[in-house]
Amino acid sequence: MISVIKKTFLILSLCVVSLHSQNGLEEQFNFAKKFFYEENYFDAVTEFKRLICFDEQKEYSFTANYYIASSYKAGGKFSEAIKHFTLAEISAKSFDDIYKCKIEIIKLNILRRTTDKAKRLIDNLFVDNSFADKSDELHYWKGWAYIFSDQWEEASKEFYKINPDHELVSFTRNVNDSLYDETLAKVLSYVIPGAGQFYTGEYLSGFLSLGWNVLWGYLTINSFIEERVFDGFVTANFLWLRFYNGNVQNTEKFVSQKNLEITNSALDYLQFQYPGKKP
């Protein structure tokens, strides 16, 4: 009889301890979650890590790591965020949770401009039959990966696969059509000095390049006509060629600056005005 009482007391004690432990973990989880939704991400990370430390049964392993990763992402610590989304994926118990983590890792690679890796991860999901119903979303994030790698035409093709009328199809096409062709600009500059600058709208620079090249070209040719060969070589090598090459270099610089302004303006719109999902 005494033995039965002792066993019953021990079982009841273990149940009380277990219940208290579970309540404590739940309280810690809610405490940590409160910091997260208050956007106090540093304390949220600290408290979720404390939860993981005491969670011996790993009941909160997925959720805590997911919140930690989201906190690091909000704080701009993308590598740490990827690490904890990976830990969350390992402890996920459903395909939906695994997919959520994989997408977050892809989005982080887009944000930190490791876009080739993001595209590889997306392609891996395309060949995985477990996510066959996610093709539209995968094309969507692949389009964003192309945007962040300044491949606007390729981005347009990905959004087109979702819907030909998708608003990002026309947007990315317009950006691509607005970009200056560096090869064309350089060819124009080689053929007619200053033409590359005219192409980019830098008319003053174009007129100056054209004028200097005409001047030094005339003086070079005139030196040879008058049989001042030495003067002709000096003028050609140290003056005419200098301005001719400078004209091409200026064209490259202007194309780069103009295209950077166009892409920055496009990214600014996507960040602050585009209403759809963003990385």
**Residue 88: CA count within 13 A, CB half-sphere:** 28
106 in a structural domain? no
The residue behind tokens 């759809």 is 276
pLDDT in tens, 58-84: 899 999 999 999 999 999 999 999 999
Last residue of a domain, one of 178, 211, 228: 178
Contact yes or no for 207/194 (Cβ under 8 A): yes
Pair (266, 186) in one structural domain: yes
What pLDDT does 227 receive? 47
Same domain, 135 and 87: no
**pLDDT at residue 245, as a whole number:** 62
Which of 42-51, 195-204, 237-246 has the largest mean confidence?
42-51
Do 228 and 165 have their domain in common?
no
Q: Are residues 144 and 189 in the same domain?
A: no
- Rounded to the nearest integer, the mean pLDDT of the chain is 78
In angstroms and rounded to an integer, the radius of gyration of the C-alpha atoms of the chain is: 31
Q: Which of 44, 60, 93 is the last residue of a domain?
A: 93
Q: What percent of the chain has pLDDT over 90?
A: 41
Q: Mark whether 245 and 260 lie in a shared domain.
A: yes
Task: Provide the domain limits for residue 28.
Answer: 20-93
**Which amino acid does the sequence have at 29?**
F
How many structural domains are present in the chain?
3
Residue-wise pLDDT for 91-140, tens only, equals: 998 889 999 999 999 999 999 999 999 999 999 998 887 777 889 999 99
128 and 166 fall within a common domain: yes
Q: Is the pTM of this model over 0.85?
A: no
C-alpha distances out from residue 206 to 171, 240, 254, Å: 31, 16, 11
